[in-house]
Amino acid sequence: MAHALGSLASVSPSVAADASLRKTRFKINNNLSFDNKLWIPMSSVNLKSRLSSTKYRCKVVPMSVQQTVRSKIPVQPLELEDAKEPPLNLYKPKEPYTATIVSVERLVGPNAPGETCHIVIDHGGNVPYWEGQSYGVIPPGENPKKPGSPHNVRLYSIASTRYGDSFDGKTASLCVRRAVYYDAETGKEDPSKKGVCSNFLCDSKPGDKILLTGPSGKIMLLPEEDPNATHIMIATGTGVAPFRGYLRRMFMEAVPTYKFGGLAWLFLGVANSDSLLYDDEFTGYLKDYPDNFRYDRALSREQKNKNGGKMYVQDKIEEYSDEIFKLLDGGAHIYFCGLKGMMPGIQDTLKRVAEERGESWDTKLSQLKKNKQWHVEVY
């Protein structure tokens, strides 16, 4: 996905992503304009004649450590910052918006259980959203439970900022795990019970049409009143989607009205190293913004917790519980996103830690909710 702004001439992507952190290939048929600077293919530049000209004298400047930090990427249209309230339900199930698939990319390695895809959708700027919101997708075909009627809407957390992966406000990205069903007795996959929408999305091709509803949701919106706030994000699997949007807004995009100077701390739970999602992006932020970003992975099939069992996100939370509780006491926001089965184990851990600290977890939780510090979206 090209991330040029301004004049974008004949750029066709082969996969979804910005060039700074994801593997992206471009077919360049013309000159590109990045932020009013002309970029042209090296083959068309006569370096020898340029360097010999007095007009192009070069001065070598030693690079400092600070200069190696990636510069933030300009975004547009900045009018997307103007709205005081998030866009909500612009398109309803009876009148969805017809968008177009830009690209589908497998995110996980060969040893990951299952397949997770990054899907970029072109909405032409007609279905704007804020970070933390969801789109509804209506898969093609008819609802088997209601013959003659379309399928029910499936909700997916949006995995990009409001500017999309191309930084121009015209696309949105989804992080989708293909839902398959294995027969308990035979151990074989049963195609008749596969997830209709996730398989449609993961099988889709560039140019395919997709019906969107929404955007929806307010519980996971990123509070931006205090740009120096602390945000603790806890995800399992594709639940990392909204957090990818937050982090791109904080660390990748040059948004004039939002300059993040706080702490973002991501806990991501997946099965193994091959199952990590957007790991290159997150490790890039760790390198570029070590004072503002922390990143802890829980790999259940590769790591052990302190009791010798599998390492889940709640074990990582327990490991850093003192710090987390102090941050919450100081006003930090905490977010949870992923399969609903993640919450009981996390809640049990937080309750146990609170009691060990001589606190009532029920009282603390109600206070966090009252203060709007507690954000949960599970499915």
- The answer to whether the annotation marks 177 as part of a ligand binding site is yes
379 is catalytic: yes
**Of the residues 117, 175, 197, 337, which is catalytic?**
337
**Of the residues 134, 157, 275, 321, which is catalytic?**
157
What is the token pair recorded at 194?
A: 């596969």
Residue at token pair 């802890």: 296
Longest dimension (CA), the chain: 78
- The answer to whether the annotation marks 134 as part of a ligand binding site is no
- The answer to whether the annotation marks 339 as part of a ligand binding site is yes
- The answer to whether the annotation marks 360 as part of a ligand binding site is no
What is the token pair recorded at 86?
A: 């998030």
**Distance from C-alpha of 171 to C-alpha of 18, rounded to nearest angstrom:** 12
As a whole number of Å, the end-to-end CA separation of the chain is 29
Pairing type for strands 32-34 and 37-39 reads: antiparallel
**Of the residues 56, 181, 258, 379, which is catalytic?**
379
- The answer to whether the annotation marks 247 as part of a ligand binding site is no
79 is catalytic: no
**Of the residues 91, 156, 163, 335, which is catalytic?**
156
Q: With beta carbons less than 8 A apart as the criterion, state whether 298 and 312 touch.
A: yes
312 is catalytic: no
Residue at token pair 């259980």: 113
- The answer to whether the annotation marks 377 as part of a ligand binding site is yes
DSSP notation for 320-375: THHHHHHHHHTT-EEEEEE-TTHHHHHHHHHHHHHHHTT--HHHHHHHHHHTT-EE
Q: 122 φ, ψ to 5°?
A: -90, 115
157 is catalytic: yes
HSE at residue 259, side-chain half, CA atoms within 13 A, is 1
- The answer to whether the annotation marks 338 as part of a ligand binding site is yes
163 is catalytic: no
Q: With beta carbons less than 8 A apart as the criterion, state whether 154 and 137 touch.
A: yes
> Would you list which residues are annotated within the binding site for NADP(+)?
157, 177, 238, 300-301, 310, 338-339, 377
> Would you list which residues are annotated within the binding site?
157, 177, 238, 300-301, 310, 338-339, 377
Active-site residue set: 156-157, 337, 377, 379
